[in-house]
Chain A
Amino acid sequence: MNDTAMLAKSVPAPGVASGRDIIRVRRLKKHYGDVEVLKGVDLAVDAGQFTAIMGKSGSGKSTLLGIIAGLEKPDEGNVSILGHKLDGMSDRDLATLRRRSIGIVFQGFSLIPSLTALDNVLLPTFFATETSAAERRQRGVDLLKQVGLGDRLNYHPATLSGGEQQRVAIARALMNNPAILLADEPTGNLDQETGASVLELLLDLGRTHGTGLLMVTHDPDVAAKAGHVVEMKDGRIIDGHP
């Protein structure tokens, strides 16, 4: 059985949440050596909602995002994505869940330098079997057009500006029409104008695709656009307000 088929019964179709909470975090704890980075975090993110996590450096917000993405293991507590507990999932099942239901945008643009913009966008679909190669390519082209890079399909990352690279990364994150978009300081490496433009694009596409957005940010202006803001300090959520 291929990996897509393995999760086909349990993971909802792309873009569809199984109930109100698409992310549920309970009593999450994480240590790095002697340092306790997360001290029992609880969090819920609704489908289609933009939630911002704010906090100073070292507050634990990026670690929280990594654990939610299944790229980091918690010491205690559990995370449910679309009703599925990550705890105990195999590497293969986690990869399938990410590929089908989660898009991630990083602060660093995180593109593969040897591939063109279009191939970078198509990367999450290299093992897809549900759609034809032509259909996948067309979706990749459409997404790059949506982020304003329809004329940069065959450009390599080194020939694109920072803002353009982040747009490619956003298109890639949306390639599989995920229910959840995770963003870790996505405008942190961009100048203010470009950052604002990328943020608008992210929010706009999130709305268009019905994607719930959980974003880590330092920027109060960015957080101001969120439907729900969570503030973290010293590994705890100290405030959560709409």
Chain B
Amino acid sequence: MGVLRYAVNELLFRSGRSLVTAVSIALAVLAAIVLTSLASSYARALRVPIETVGADVIVQRQGDIPPKLEGLVFPHPNALVPADIVRQIKAIPGVIALTRAVYMWDLEPDRYESVLGIDDSEVGLAGLGRRLIDGKPITAASHSILVDSDYATKNHVKVGDSVMVGVDSFAVAGIVDAARSGKLVRADVYMPIVLAQALAATAPQVQALYPFGADDANLVLVKVNREQLQGVVEKVTSLIGKNGVVSSELSMRNALSGVLFLSQSMGLIIAAIIGLFAAAFVWRATATSVAERRREMAILQAIGWSWRHIGEQVVIENLALAMAGTAAGLAVALVVVLSLGHISVTVDLPWDLSSTPHFIPTAAIDRTQTITAPISISWLTAGIAAAGSLAISLLAVLAVLALPRPQPWSLLRAE
């Protein structure tokens, strides 16, 4: 216990230097934790636009603009995805589930609506059923439709009314709030995929571009084992061909890298630079302290301490400072992260994830999306920062003690 009491007394006796050293360690730990936590949050935010539509991978194909912008048309990022390709995607290892959809615009002289025919899956009709705010859900076999609550309000549509899609009329079975909690592709009108496939197969402006069959799709939502995401994306990209658009967390990362000024690697680089400065400071503070205490060390040698005992004493003092600095840095990092709570970043969504007809003023929607992601401390980073600060303190002592030892008698003698 004597050596610990000595260490504490010594650190308190040199309180100014002790404080500055501990603060420099705390700042390095704080920077490492906060910057990497922020960077991780930005990385999480990258996934949000994809998660909004309830899939890990969204498969589309770039097509052409129809000869006439009238009636039912495919948006140009939603060209034909043949049924054969869909089956091959479903068979890729790592694919957990697949949902087909047909996404269309209905461009009429007096109105516009976006139409989505979709499978009866969690990100399709089943999910819509859980967001019902009026009426009843529809199934794959229904001949009725659901409409979005915004669309219903804007066009005064109620349950039981009929809505024209192309040249056909459909009864409104229910009204859904698709925006609530995301996880769905947004559209004004939802219907079973077979109805949409039938409409597309007979739509002149669709058929003018593609030989769309009754079993084809133009939008595929794929749920993937996240560990195999990269492999699945590569295989899907290969299958879908050069006009394919395969959106995923990976493509978003590329697309949004310019927006995200603080990437994960940038956070690590900044934290490493601060860590290096802290290491240099700790080394210098240790060297100065040992130099100032040369006479004290000579006294200790004279009263029977070996150089190893003295080294251990300095190690204890430095480790105590490192632990205090680390604890302080961690505590402040916790406060900072808790007080920030979350990050918000506004991104301009890529066209293929927000394919609304911007050329129709009443239909154009804001293509920016404000993404909010919670900030949480990476305990792995905190552990690395703590171990790093202890290692730096230890190495600083070892480096200083490896220097030539003072001659004790020359510091103590009377003459």
Contacts and interface: CB of A to CB of B under 8 A. Distances in A.
Interface of A: 3, 57-58, 61-63, 65-66, 69, 71-72, 91-92, 94-96, 98-100, 102-104, 106-108, 110-115, 119, 122-127, 133, 172-173, 176, 184-185, 188, 216
Give the interface centre of B2, B3, B301, B415 by most chain A CB atoms within 10 Å: B415
Given A92-B308, A126-B6, A133-B1, A66 B413 contact: yes
B241 interface: no
A184 B1 contact: no
A114 B15 CA distance: 11
A23 to B, nearest CB: 16
Contacts of A113: 13, 296
Contact of A119 (B6, B295, B302): B6
Contact of A69 (B302, B305, B308): B302
B304 A124 contact: yes
Given A72-B409, A188-B414, A122 B308 contact: no
B304 A57 contact: no
In the A-B complex, list the 8 residue pairs whose CB atoms are closest, starting with the nearest.
Answer: A99-B304, A66-B409, A114-B13, A95-B306, A107-B414, A126-B2, A185-B414, A71-B409
Interface residues on B, range: 20 to 34
B413 A124 contact: no
Interface in B375-415: 407-410, 412-415
B13 A71 contact: no
Contacts of B9: 114-115, 119
Contacts of B305: 95, 99, 123, 126-127
A99 B301 CA distance: 9
Given A95-B309, A110-B302, A119-B9, A126 B414 contact: no
Given A92-B308, A126-B6, A57 B303 contact: no
B221 to A, nearest CB: 69
A65 B302 CA distance: 12
A184 B306 contact: no
B299 A110 contact: yes
B300 A119 contact: no
Given A71-B408, A119-B5, A184 B413 contact: yes
A95 B405 CA distance: 15
Given A72-B407, A110-B299, A127 B309 contact: yes
A3 B414 contact: no
Contacts of A172: 303
Contacts of A91: 306-308
A62 B1 CA distance: 35
A34 B90 CA distance: 91
B12 interface: yes
Interface of B: 1-3, 5-6, 9-10, 12-14, 295-296, 298-309, 407-410, 412-415
B310 to A, nearest CB: 9
A69 B409 contact: yes
Which secondary structure dominates where chain B touches chain A? helix
13 contacts: A61-B415, A63-B415, A72-B409, A91-B308, A103-B303, A106-B413, A108-B412, A108-B414, A114-B14, A124-B304, A126-B309, A184-B412, A185-B414
A238 B284 CA distance: 49
A108 B409 CA distance: 12
Give the interface centre of B3, B307, B309, B414 by most chain A CB atoms within 10 Å: B414
A110 B295 CA distance: 8
B413 A104 contact: no
B12 A114 contact: yes
Given A62-B415, A184-B413, A100 B13 contact: no
A61 to B, nearest CB: 8
Contacts of B407: 71-72
Nearest to A122: B2
B300 A63 contact: no
Contacts of B12: 114
B64 to A, nearest CB: 83
Given A92-B306, A95-B304, A98-B303, A110 B412 contact: yes
A63 B413 contact: yes
Given A72-B407, A122-B2, A127-B309, A58 B303 contact: no
A194 B13 CA distance: 29
Contact of B300 (A123, A125, A188): A123
Contacts of A71: 298, 301-302, 407-409, 412
Contact of B296 (A61, A112, A126): A112
A63 B89 CA distance: 89
Contacts of B3: 126
A115 B5 CA distance: 9
A98 B302 contact: yes
Contact of A104 (B302, B308, B415): B302
Contacts of A98: 301-304
Contacts of A125: 2
Given A108-B412, A126-B309, 19 more contacts: A66-B413, A69-B409, A71-B301, A71-B407, A72-B407, A72-B409, A92-B308, A112-B296, A113-B296, A114-B10, A114-B14, A119-B5, A123-B2, A124-B304, A126-B2, A133-B2, A184-B412, A184-B414, A216-B414
